[in-house]
Structure formats: structure tokens, C-alpha cells
Amino acid sequence: MTIILKNKVTLKFDDFSFKCCIGKNGLSKKKVEGDRKTPIGLFSLGKLYYRSDRNSKPLTKLKCVPIQKKMGWCDDKNNKKFYNKLININKNIKHEKLYRKDFKYDLMIPINYNTKKTKLGRGSAIFIHLTKNFNPTLGCIALEKKDFLILLKLINKNTKIKLS
């Protein structure tokens, strides 16, 4: 089954509708790093990353990975080896911290955008993550925690997400 972005504020999966928010500058077929746009396309999903100090392991068929303090996601468009990949934080590599002071990545699923045959500068760190206020994201999809937990129970490793 496929999660569908119905419009800029609604995700649909099966009979469920979830309020969401997307990138501040809307959707794009030609995503570039830092444009604050959500990429258009059909994508598979990664593992669930979660803060085990703030949440118990959620009910889901996805593989679950507790977020550690040294985990980051490389968004360094000059780093061919690690761009758009999970890394151990290194001060020489530009990255997005996964272990954050705020709540946004307490539950987080990478969207497999620009992950196979990665193109430098075409966008990285596109996630489904949490929001409390539905403010626009930097290109991710964000849901309230209660809806994220429902979605986790419904999806599996074969679930895709369609953004259009």
C-alpha cells in the first residue's frame, strides 16, 4: 500500500487521513539542497529511528533503531562518500543531528529520496518526523505524534509514499 500526499496538508493511507505539513516552498520535481521544498515522486521508506529515552519502542512492522547521541545525517553537498546517509557525527562533515533537544526527531522515518545513485546537492535528510504546530518544514513531511503512532501500526517495509 502507498501513503499519499493528498494535498499540502493531508496524508492518506488506506481509510485514514492525517493532518500534515510539508516544505515551506511547496513541492518540486527539481529538488536542490536547502530549497525548503518537498521532492515529488514515489519513494520507499527507511527504518524507524526513535529516541528510546523519550519513547518506548513503538508498535510497528518497520525495523526500529534507537537514536544515539553521535548519530547524524550528512547534508554536506561536497561530501561524495557520505552525502544523504546516516553517519557518526564528525565536526568536519556538515550534518543534521538526529539526537535533538526538541522533539521533532523523537520518531523519524527517512524517505528514500536521492539515496540510490545519490546526486550531490539534489537534497538530503528528507524524513517523516513530528510536529506540534504544523509550521512548514525544510522539505520533510511532519505529523503530530498521535497520528505518527497510528501510521506506524499500519505501514511495513514495503509501504511507499507518493508525493505529488
- Helix ranges (H only) for 16-162 are 145-154
38 confidence band (pLDDT: 50, 70, 90): very high
CATH of the domain at 157: 2.40.440
pLDDT of residue 68: 98
Owning domain of residue 121: 2-163
pLDDT of residue 142: 98
Tell me how many domains the chain contains: 1
> Residue 109: beta bridge partners?
128
d(CA 113, CA 13): 19
Distance set, CA 123 to CA 3, 30, 34 (Å)? 21, 9, 7
* Total-model pTM: 0.97
